[in-house]
A and B are shown apart, each in its own frame.
Chain A
Amino acid sequence: MIQAYTWSAIIVVVLASSAGDVLLSHAMKQIGDLGALWQRTNLFHVAGRILNTPQFLLGIACMTVAFYSLMFALSWADVSLVGPAAAALTFIANAVAAKIFLHEKVDKRRWIAALLVAAGVVLLAG
Chain B
Amino acid sequence: MTFRKYLVLAGVAVSAAIGDSLLARGMKQIGSVSLQNLAHIILAILNPWVALGILFLLCFFASYMTALSWADLTYVLPATSLSYVLLALIAKFFLHEQVSVTRWAGIALISAGVGFVTRGPELTHVECNAEPRSVSEGEMVGAGKHSGLKR
Determine if B106 and A34 form an interchain contact, defined as CB atoms under 8 angstroms apart. Answer: no
Interface residues of A: mostly helix, strand, loop or mixed?
Answer: helix
> How many B residues have CB within 8 A of the partner chain?
62
Could you tell me the distance in whole angstroms from the C-beta of A62 to the nearest C-beta in chain B?
A: 13
Contact with A along B62-80 (1 / 0, CB 8 A): 0011101110111111100
Could you tell me the distance in whole angstroms from the C-beta of A58 to the nearest C-beta in chain B?
A: 14
Taking a contact as CB atoms closer than 8 A, the residue among A37, A91, A102, A109 that contacts B138 in the complex is A37
Chain A residue nearest in CB terms to B38: A68
Interface residues of B: mostly helix, strand, loop or mixed?
Answer: helix
Could you tell me the distance in whole angstroms from the C-beta of A80 to the nearest C-beta in chain B?
A: 8
Taking a contact as CB atoms closer than 8 A, the residue among A25, A119, A123 that contacts B103 in the complex is A123
Could you tell me the distance in whole angstroms from the C-beta of A107 to the nearest C-beta in chain B?
A: 6
Q: Which of B111-150 contact A (CB under 8 A)?
A: 111-114, 116-117, 120, 122-123, 126, 129-131, 133-139, 141-142, 148
Determine the chain A residues whose CB is within 8 A of the CB of B58 once the complex forms.
Answer: none
Could you tell me the distance in whole angstroms from the C-beta of A2 to the nearest C-beta in chain B?
A: 9
Taking a contact as CB atoms closer than 8 A, the residue among B76, B77, B109 that contacts A119 in the complex is B109
A35-B4 CB under 8 A given contacts A72-B33, A109-B123, A114-B113: yes
Per the bound structure, the CA–CA distance linking A50 and B44 in Å amounts to: 28
Taking a contact as CB atoms closer than 8 A, the residue among A28, A79, A113, A126 that contacts B68 in the complex is A28
Could you tell me the distance in whole angstroms from the C-beta of B103 to the nearest C-beta in chain A?
A: 5
Taking a contact as CB atoms closer than 8 A, the residue among B23, B27, B35, B69 that contacts A32 in the complex is B69
Determine the chain B residues whose CB is within 8 A of the CB of A50 once the complex forms.
Answer: 65
Per the bound structure, the CA–CA distance linking A41 and B69 in Å amounts to: 16
22 cross-chain CB contacts under 8 A: A28-B65, A30-B137, A31-B134, A31-B137, A32-B135, A32-B136, A32-B137, A71-B44, A79-B24, A83-B87, A91-B81, A105-B72, A110-B78, A115-B113, A116-B112, A117-B81, A117-B110, A117-B113, A120-B106, A123-B105, A124-B84, A124-B106
